[in-house]
Amino acid sequence: VSTSSLAYLAFLVAAVLLFCAGGGPRPRRILFGAVNAAFAAFFVGSWTNAALLAAFVLGGYAAARLAQNRGRGAVPLSLLVSVPVALLLYVKRYAFLSLFLPSAALSHGLEIVGLSYMTFKLIHVVVDAREGALSPLSLPCYANYQLGFFTLAAGPIQRYDDFARWWNEPSPAADEAESLAAWNRILNGILKSALLGTLALKVYTSAFDGVLAGASGRGALGRFLVAFYVYPIFIYLNFSGYCDVVIGSARLFGLTLPENFDSPFLARNMIDFWNRWHISLTFWIRDYVFMTSYKWFAARWNSLRRPAGYVLQFAALLIAGVWHGSTWNFFLFGAFHGLGVAGATMYGDALRRRVGADGVRLYLERPWLRRGAMLLTFHYVCFCFLFFPSDLHKTAAALRAVAAALGRR
Amino acid sequence: MDSTREQLQGIFRDVFEDDGLVLRDELSAKDVPNWDSLAHINMIIAVEAKFKIKFAIAEIAQMKAPGQTAAHFLVLLEKKLAEKPRPA
């Protein structure tokens, strides 16, 4: 079900009406659970997948419970985290697994919608539980946190504590103004993803196919540039529109989801870009991959912490890239973003060493520099998005066609 | 001995490489140009070493969330120091 479809809107309206009619916290929690179960059942596809989904949710809850035991006989955190990660890699059939596993082992029909998101949420819950920093854990709360129909398919990645606060006192949008603001957000999202996004996709597809079909000379270059600039805009319209719909939907239930976008194409460098693009993923990666690994490293090899910081930033963005999908193109997508972020940090460090903190402040305040940096960042982002479509052969063919066209000039 | 605020200000000046930084209550990551994720975790490592405490990942993340200020950090730090086991 697309969140821009009439089916989704009808489902949402029915769920909201029932939720508003529900008497108190307990009936509302039961209703919300039933709605989530119905939504998940629609996606699940087969009894095997349903069993796997149930096992993933129940297993995640058991892992979080085990993580809460920090005393004698505590299960290592590395084990509690690596099992769901291994499951994610296997179920999503990551391309690199074919190097180690026979193809028969990977030709399974297993599929869980939103598994990437649920895995990251599970890791967050398990790690926070081990550190004693998690809200009280209960199976109904955890199961609905994982299966909440707004965020099941593609986020945003909410933190358990934020969900648990709502779960304890679930109540719909406070008043008419809040409801109208939520519906406005939903309709804006539909406009962005279904109308503008579809239009952008058509422009991109037409231009890209033109390059592949052998448009020559200036034609090939022009079409390639259209595809180059329009594709990131399509992804933005599609994904931020989806986020508008789910954030607005959640608001109708009185639940506040984290924002995922903040004018990303106005970023002045790649660090800034990731603070504006898919923000809930960035913050998850920052907290549970980058800062955790950097802290671990710095405690052991403090003198190497600066170069380690660059390497770990690269690795964190590489993981963010690979998390997007199981094919090799996402490895390149993540690697280029990692280079961009680590490069921006190295440049900032070099600048500070050269002109000092005050000098950097003055440097950053120059308007022409801000505009130039934004333009450069936007082009680098567009370049990285060349590797977002999963068919690398087509990307390579398009780049060859452009190189040939340039060679003929 | 310096107050917690003064010691924290010393760490901020050192980590964010700004000798003129004043730890006002309303100071946030937005006010310090190089308060990025790397500098943030370096600051956390320095605070943990100085005060012999440990922050959870959720607490470290919360400190960098929008709207969080030095005042929030000081409250958390004081709470951590109060919870710290005293030497026998």
Q: Is B20 helix (H, G, I), strand (E, B) or coil?
A: coil
Q: Do A286 and B18 touch (CB under 8 A)?
A: no
Q: Do B57 and A291 touch (CB under 8 A)?
A: yes
* CA A324/CA A327 separation, integer angstroms: 9
Contact A320, A285 (CB under 8 A): yes
Q: Do A357 and B40 touch (CB under 8 A)?
A: no
Residue A257: CB atoms within 10 A of its CB come to 23
Name the one residue in this structure whose structure tokens are 């109060």: B82
Question: What is the number of CB-based contacts under 8 A between chain A and chain B?
Answer: 66
Please give, rounded to a whole number of angstroms, the shortest distance from the CA of B1 to a CA of chain A: 27
**Residues whose CB falls within 8 Å of the CB of residue A199, separated by 6 or more in sequence, listed in order:** none
Reading the block at residue A19, the tokens are 């939720």
Please give, rounded to a whole number of angstroms, the shortest distance from the CA of A190 to a CA of chain B: 28
Name the one residue in this structure whose structure tokens are 């398009």: A398
* CA A155/CA A151 separation, integer angstroms: 4
Environment class of B40 (CB within 10 Å of its CB; exposed 0-12, middle 13-18, buried 19+): buried
Please give, rounded to a whole number of angstroms, the shortest distance from the CA of A163 to a CA of chain B: 14
Contacts of A298 in chain B (CB under 8 A): 41-42, 45
Which amino acid, residue A403?
A: A
Contact A386, A330 (CB under 8 A): no
Name the one residue in this structure whose structure tokens are 């120059």: A366
Bond preceding residue A27 cis, omega within 30 of 0: no
* CA A376/CA A399 separation, integer angstroms: 20
**Residues whose CB falls within 8 Å of the CB of residue A272, separated by 6 or more in sequence, listed in order:** A344, A377
* CA A311/CA B76 separation, integer angstroms: 31
Mutation for B interface: A162, A286, A311, most B CBs within 10 A: A286
Q: What is the pLDDT of residue A132?
A: 93
Reading the block at residue A67, the tokens are 């993580």
Inform me whether the pLDDT recorded for B1 exceeds 60.
no
Residues 42 through 81 of chain B touching chain A, CB cutoff 8 Å: 42, 44-45, 56-61
Closest CA to A320 of A272, A348, A278: A278
Name the one residue in this structure whose structure tokens are 């005060």: B51
* CA B73/CA B63 separation, integer angstroms: 6
Inform me whether the pLDDT recorded for B54 exceeds 80.
yes
**Residues whose CB falls within 8 Å of the CB of residue A86, separated by 6 or more in sequence, listed in order:** none
Reading the block at residue A382, the tokens are 């567009």
pLDDT digits (tens, 9 = 90+) for A202-251: 999 999 999 888 766 678 889 999 999 999 999 999 999 999 999 999 99
* Residues listed for chain A: 409
pLDDT digits (tens, 9 = 90+) for A292-305: 999 999 989 989 99
Q: In tens digits, what is the pLDDT along chain A, a chain of 409 residues? A: 688 888 899 999 999 999 988 778 999 999 999 999 999 998 888 999 999 999 999 999 999 999 999 988 899 999 999 999 999 999 999 989 999 899 888 888 898 889 999 999 999 999 999 999 999 999 999 999 999 998 888 889 999 999 999 999 999 877 889 999 999 999 999 999 999 999 999 999 999 999 888 766 678 889 999 999 999 999 999 999 999 999 999 999 999 999 999 999 999 999 999 999 999 999 999 999 999 999 999 989 989 999 999 999 999 999 999 999 889 999 999 999 999 999 999 999 899 888 887 788 788 888 999 999 999 999 999 999 999 998 899 999 999 888 888 876 6
Contact A7, A13 (CB under 8 A): no
Reading the block at residue A265, the tokens are 């194409």
Alpha helices in A69-98 (DSSP H): 77-91
Environment class of A398 (CB within 10 Å of its CB; exposed 0-12, middle 13-18, buried 19+): buried
Q: Do A295 and B40 touch (CB under 8 A)?
A: no
* Buried/exposed code over A115-135 (b: 16+ C-beta within 10 A; e: otherwise): bbbbbbbbbbbbbbbbbebbb
Residues 103 through 162 of chain A touching chain B, CB cutoff 8 Å: 127-128, 131-134, 159, 161
Which amino acid, residue B44?
A: I
Q: What is the pLDDT of residue A409?
A: 61
Reading the block at residue A323, the tokens are 């998390």
Inform me whether the pLDDT recorded for B73 exceeds 80.
yes
Q: Do A291 and B58 touch (CB under 8 A)?
A: no
Closest CA to A388 of A108, A195, A192, A201: A201
* CA A354/CA A188 separation, integer angstroms: 46
Reading the block at residue A141, the tokens are 């709360």
Closest CA to B6 of B66, B51, B62: B51
Q: Do B17 and A295 touch (CB under 8 A)?
A: no
Contacts of B53 in chain A (CB under 8 A): none
* CA A48/CA A51 separation, integer angstroms: 5
* CA A240/CA A190 separation, integer angstroms: 10
Contact A351, A343 (CB under 8 A): no
Q: Do B45 and A298 touch (CB under 8 A)?
A: yes
